[in-house]
Amino acid sequence: MVMKSALRLQPYFYVLPLIVLLAFVFGYPIVRIFEFSFKMVRGVDGPWIGLRNYELVLSQGLFWESVLHNLQLLLAIPAMIAISLLVSILLYERLPGWKLYRIIVFIPFILAVPIIAVVMKRMFQFSGPVNEVLRWFSLDFMALDWIGSSNVALWTVMILIIWRESALGIILFLARLMSLDESILEAAKLDGATWRQRVWHIIIPQMRGVIEFFAVVSVITMLAAVFAYIFIMGGGRGGPGTATMVIELYIFNALIRTSLPGIAAAASVMLFLVSVLLIFPLFSARRRARAEEVGTQQ
């Protein structure tokens, strides 16, 4: 009886060191963040203040403005999916020079965000190359203050995000396209299906899983991984004014610049919980994408 119990527990002992390591690396900081969110922290600790940090965060206009900006960034996702789909299908069709194009479209994703953001920032300055070109074509009315105007700055950041993050979509979609059964497409061609019909009725339905996966990953990116873009393009402050402030920068400012670790922790906990909720559809989409791929290969 004892022997049987020991055998049953044996696998758990094997993974125990890893579980302990993970608990230490991830679990401890998360527990501390939850703890801090209920304290008025000065230095490294402080008194318990219940839900006061949450009340303060939720009553602050800047927090909701940051949330709104994160939600606005979600508008980039349909554009990213459309661009990624179009480019990956064109590459799949092996247009003349497609190998060179493939390298070019992958480059944004290889380069670090700060590098491309700094270059973009220069390009979009009021006296920068983008506006110079527009003026040269007598399109002065389109020469906007791309990063200096509160009305435009977030959209400029969005252009940069779409440009770079679409590269990931292209990589994923192209990989999926490469695993499609070409005989179906050949058959459709022989039956007289146009390019548009092949894309709409054969390719896209088979890519549903990977598109969903990319969409969910992109949602998480827009909500919790745009800090580098915003930090560089927004002058390190989510500017001009608060026009590009997002939740990540809100947390960074609370922790580093305004010495309010408790506030930063409360906002982090809320962002963490939203991200956790998004992980379920992510796993579900990944499962579906895998199932589709296996189905195609069989």
Q: Is residue 241 within 8 Å of residue 65, measured between CB atoms?
A: no
CB of residue 215 vs another protein: minimum separation in angstroms? 33
Q: Which stretch binds another protein (CB under 8 A): 6-14, 66-74, 80-88, 259-267?
A: 259-267
Q: Which of 34, 35, 56, 208 binds another protein (CB under 8 A)?
A: 56
Q: How far apart are CA 68 and CA 62, in angstroms?
A: 10
Which residues from 173-202 bind another protein, rule CB under 8 A?
Answer: none
Where in the chain does DSSP place strands (E)?
A: none
Distances, alpha carbon 111 to alpha carbons 97, 116, 118, 167, in Å: 22, 7, 12, 11
Task: Report how far residue 114's alpha carbon sits from residue 242's, in angstroms, rounded to the nearest whole number.
Answer: 20
Say how many Å lie between the first and final Cα of the chain, rounded.
Answer: 45
Q: Which token pair is 121?
A: 């920032």
Give the alpha-carbon dihedral of 256, 261, 264, 265, to 10 degrees.
140
> From the list 36, 54, 146, 229, which residue makes contact with another protein (rule: CB under 8 A)?
146
**Distance between CA atoms of residues 176 and 171, nearest Å:** 9
Segment interacting with another protein (CB under 8 A) among 22-30, 146-154, 178-186, 195-203? 146-154
Among all chains, which residue has been given the structure tokens 């194009």?
101
Residue 126 or 283: which CB sits closer to another protein?
A: 126
Residues 80-139 that bind another protein (CB under 8 A): 124-128
Tokens of 227: 């800090």
> Which is nearer to another protein, 57 or 217 (by Cβ)?
57
Smallest distance, another protein to C-beta of residue 158, A? 17
Strands (E) across 165-257 are located at none
Which string of x and - marks every residue 11-50 that binds another protein (by CB under 8 A)? -----------------------------x-xxxx-----
Residue choice 208, 237, 286, 288 for contact with another protein (CB under 8 A): 237
242 touches another protein by CB under 8 A: yes
3-state secondary structure of 52: helix
Token pair belonging to 179: 């695993």
Binds another protein by CB under 8 A, chosen from 33, 34, 86, 145: 145
Which stretch, 9-17, 143-151, 222-230, 267-275, contacts another protein (CB under 8 A)? 143-151
Question: Which residues in this chain contact another protein in the complex, by CB under 8 A?
Answer: 40, 42-45, 56, 60, 62, 124-128, 145-150, 235-237, 239-242, 253, 255-260, 263
